[in-house]
Structure 1
Amino acid sequence: MRADARRNRQLLLEAAAAEFAEHGMEVSIARIAARAGVGKGTVFRHFATKEQLIIAIFGGQLDRLAAKGAELLSCADSEQALLVFMSDAINLQIADRAFCQAVTAELRRDPQLRAAGDRLAMAAGALIARAQADGVVRDDITGHDVVLLINAVAQATTPLGDTIPGLWQRYLSLVLDGLRPQAARPLPVPAPGFLAPPASDTGNDGPVHVAR
Structure 2
Amino acid sequence: MAEPRLRRDAERNRQRLLDAGRELFAARGIDATLNDVARHAGVGVGTAYRRFANKEELIDAIYEQQVTEIEEILRDALIEPDAWRGLVAYLECALKLQAGDRAMAQILSGRRVASEQYDWSRDRLAPLVNALVERAREQGVVRPDLTGTDLILVEIGLTAIATFVCDGAGSIDRDDIGELYRRYLGIFLDGLRPDTPSPLPIAALTTDEAHAVLRQRD
TM-score (norm 2): 0.79
Residue 144 (1) aligns with residue 149 (2): yes
User: What residue number does 2:118 align with?
Assistant: 113
Q: Which runs of 5+ in 1 are unaligned?
A: 202-212
Structure with a larger share of its residues in helix: 2
Deviates more, 1:119-128 or 1:186-195: 186-195
TM-score (norm 1): 0.81
CA contact (8 A) 2:73 2:94 kept: no
**Alpha-carbon distance change, 15 to 109 in structure 1, aligned in 2, over 3 angstroms:** closer
Shift of 1:111: 0.8
Which of 83, 92, 95 is equivalent to 1:87? 92
Deviates more, 1:63-72 or 1:33-42: 33-42
CA contact (8 A) 2:25 2:102 kept: yes
Which of 60, 72, 75 is equivalent to 1:70? 75
User: What residue number does 2:136 align with?
Assistant: 131
| Pairs aligned (count) | 201
Letter of the aligned partner of 2:18 in structure 1? L
User: What residue number does 2:26 align with?
Assistant: 21
CA distance in 2 between counterparts of 1:27 and 1:42 reads: 17
CA distance in 1 between counterparts of 2:122 and 2:157 reads: 16
Q: Tell me, what secondary structure is at the counterpart of 1:76?
A: coil
Shift of 1:176: 1.4
Letter of the aligned partner of 1:73 in structure 2? L
Shift of 1:105: 6.6
- 1:23-77 per-residue CA deviation (whole Å, 9 max, x = no partner) reads 2222222221122232222222222221121122123212211111102212122
CA distance in 1 between counterparts of 2:78 and 2:182 reads: 22
**Alpha-carbon distance change, 195 to 55 in structure 1, aligned in 2, over 3 angstroms:** farther
Shift of 1:103: 5.7
Letter of the aligned partner of 1:160 in structure 2? V
CA distance in 1 between counterparts of 2:196 and 2:213 reads: 34
Runs of 4+ in 1 over 6 A off after TM superposition: 198-201
Shift of 1:124: 1.8
User: What residue number does 1:188 align with?
Assistant: 202
CA contact (8 A) 1:114 1:196 kept: no
Which of 175, 187, 199 is equivalent to 1:174? 187
CA distance in 1 between counterparts of 2:109 and 2:85 reads: 32
Shift of 1:96: 1.0
Deviates more, 1:94-103 or 1:59-68: 94-103
CA contact (8 A) 1:108 1:197 kept: no
Deviates more, 1:48-57 or 1:192-201: 192-201
**Alpha-carbon distance change, 173 to 124 in structure 1, aligned in 2, over 3 angstroms:** same
**Matches for 1:99-110 after TM superposition, within 5 Å:** 99-102=104-107, 107=112, 109-110=114-115
CA contact (8 A) 1:33 1:40 kept: yes
CA distance in 2 between counterparts of 1:199 and 1:69 reads: 21
CA distance in 1 between counterparts of 2:149 and 2:44 reads: 40
| Pair member with larger Rg | 2
